[in-house]
């Protein structure tokens, strides 16, 4: 069995918080194992975010690419698919633009990658004061012992403990797209994110449900792939009930492939490696 480490692309979702994104990118620069490339999926931010990314790209240690569409409400699923279609890596490490990364974050995801599974990581919650300090420092302004850390155990990196943590019995509990990783071929097989999801909520859980339905199991990476979440106000949750119903239907009916997804965004080199069509039900 080939156990050589995969080449990883880092996918970052963002929306109108350039100060946080600048801090996130600073932690990407400090990775022990840099990703092959960085893809920023921008759900309609103002021009100042594009200006920041252009400036960062001039000196970034790996290719840094910006994917943007017009702000017409929360349409994260679509822009994630567009960015994914340009990923150079066979493995996708995914975060949100409010997550500061431990220097071993990418290396941990790559080290733990196994065929037939996706990885779910944890997040360290910071209060407002620690968030402001971390943005100003363009990095993590504290440790697991610092004031302002709400779930300290998630800030501890102890890789030898990772295999001992099984996680929840229900693999759909605690799905968070802010710290996940997948084989690109698995995302292709389920057609990526379902672009029918508009409005905040459950798009990551629904994707995880289809991966599980396709036989891709979840593995947890607690005590590895440590990432710190910057405090901020939540976006409108008016679509949550509708999205949750859609997610539950997919899980209940064992659906694998969504109708409107990654296949609508062809690989630029023509090598789309799309899986055979499956019943979208």
pLDDT digits (tens, 9 = 90+) for 36-69: 999 999 999 999 999 999 999 999 999 999 999 9
More confident residue, 168 or 205: 205
Assessment of whether the complete model's pTM goes beyond 0.85 = yes
Q: Give Cα separations from 180 to 18, 124, 138 (angstroms).
A: 22, 14, 22
Residue 279 in this model has a pLDDT that exceeds 60: no
Residue 113 lies in a domain: yes
Q: What is the pLDDT of residue 269?
A: 57
Residue 271 lies in a domain: no
Look at residues 126, 136, 179 and name the one whose alpha carbon lies nearest to residue 20: 136
Residue 230 lies in a domain: yes
Over residues 99-123, the pLDDT tens digits come to 999 999 999 999 999 999 999 999 9
Structural domains in the chain (count): 1
Residue 275 in this model has a pLDDT that exceeds 50: no
Mean pLDDT of 198-203: 93
Residue 280 lies in a domain: no
Residue 3 lies in a domain: no
Look at residues 211, 219, 214, 192 and name the one whose alpha carbon lies nearest to residue 108: 219
Tell me how far apart the alpha carbons of residues 223 and 157 are, in angstroms, rounded to a whole number: 5
Q: What is the pLDDT of residue 2?
A: 56
Q: Which residue has the tokens 């990364």?
A: 101
Chain-wide mean pLDDT for the chain?
93
Give the structural domain span for 86: 8-264
Residue 34 binned pLDDT confidence (cut-offs 50, 70, 90): very high
Please count the helices (runs of H) and the strands (runs of E) in the chain. Answer: 9, 10
Mean pLDDT of 241-268: 94
Residue 278 binned pLDDT confidence (cut-offs 50, 70, 90): very low
Residue 182 in this model has a pLDDT that exceeds 80: yes
Mean pLDDT of 84-101: 97
Instruction: Say how many residues make up the chain.
Output: 281
Residue 267 binned pLDDT confidence (cut-offs 50, 70, 90): confident
**Joined tokens for residue 74:** 């929360």
Tell me how far apart the alpha carbons of residues 217 and 116 are, in angstroms, rounded to a whole number: 6
Residue 243 lies in a domain: yes
Tell me how far apart the alpha carbons of residues 263 and 81 are, in angstroms, rounded to a whole number: 9
**Joined tokens for residue 30:** 């400090």
Residue 246 in this model has a pLDDT that exceeds 90: yes
Residue 2 lies in a domain: no
**Joined tokens for residue 156:** 């501890």
**Joined tokens for residue 263:** 């296949």
Residue 24 lies in a domain: yes
More confident residue, 266 or 91: 91
Question: By percentage, how much of the chain surpasses pLDDT 90?
Answer: 86
Look at residues 147, 149, 148 and name the one whose alpha carbon lies nearest to residue 122: 149
Q: How many CB atoms lie within 10 A of CB 202?
A: 24
- CATH code of the domain covering residue 30: 3.90.550.10
Mean pLDDT of 80-89: 97
Look at residues 279, 104, 106, 103 and name the one whose alpha carbon lies nearest to residue 189: 279
């Amino acid at each position: 069995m080939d156990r050589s480490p995969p080449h990883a692309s880092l996918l970052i979702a963002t929306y109108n918080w350039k100060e946080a994104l600048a801090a996130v990118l600073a932690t990407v620069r400090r990775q022990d194992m840099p990703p092959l490339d960085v893809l920023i999926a921008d759900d309609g931010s103002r021009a100042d975010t594009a200006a920041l990314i252009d400036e960062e790209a001039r000196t970034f240690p790996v290719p840094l690419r910006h994917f943007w569409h017009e702000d017409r409400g929360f349409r994260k699923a679509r822009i994630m698919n567009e960015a994914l279609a340009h990923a150079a890596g066979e493995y996708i490490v995914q975060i949100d633009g409010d997550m500061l990364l431990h220097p071993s974050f990418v290396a941990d995801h790559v080290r733990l990658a196994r065929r037939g599974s996706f990885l779910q990581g944890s997040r360290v919650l910071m209060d407002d004061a620690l968030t402001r300090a971390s943005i100003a420092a363009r990095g993590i302004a504290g440790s697991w012992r610092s004031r302002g850390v709400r779930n300290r155990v998630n800030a501890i990196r102890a890789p030898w403990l990772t295999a001992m943590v099984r996680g929840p019995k229900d693999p759909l509990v605690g799905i968070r797209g802010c710290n996940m990783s997948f084989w690109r071929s698995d995302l292709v097989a389920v057609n990526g994110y379902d672009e029918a999801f508009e409005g905040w909520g459950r798009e990551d859980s629904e994707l995880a449900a289809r991966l599980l339905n396709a036989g891709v199991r979840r593995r947890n990476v607690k005590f590895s792939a440590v990432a710190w979440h910057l405090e901020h106000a939540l976006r409108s949750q008016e679509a949550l009930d509708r999205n949750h119903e859609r997610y539950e239907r997919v899980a209940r009916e064992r659906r694998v492939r969504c109708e409107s997804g990654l296949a609508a965004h062809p690989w630029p080199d023509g090598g789309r490696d799309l899986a055979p069509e499956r019943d979208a039900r």
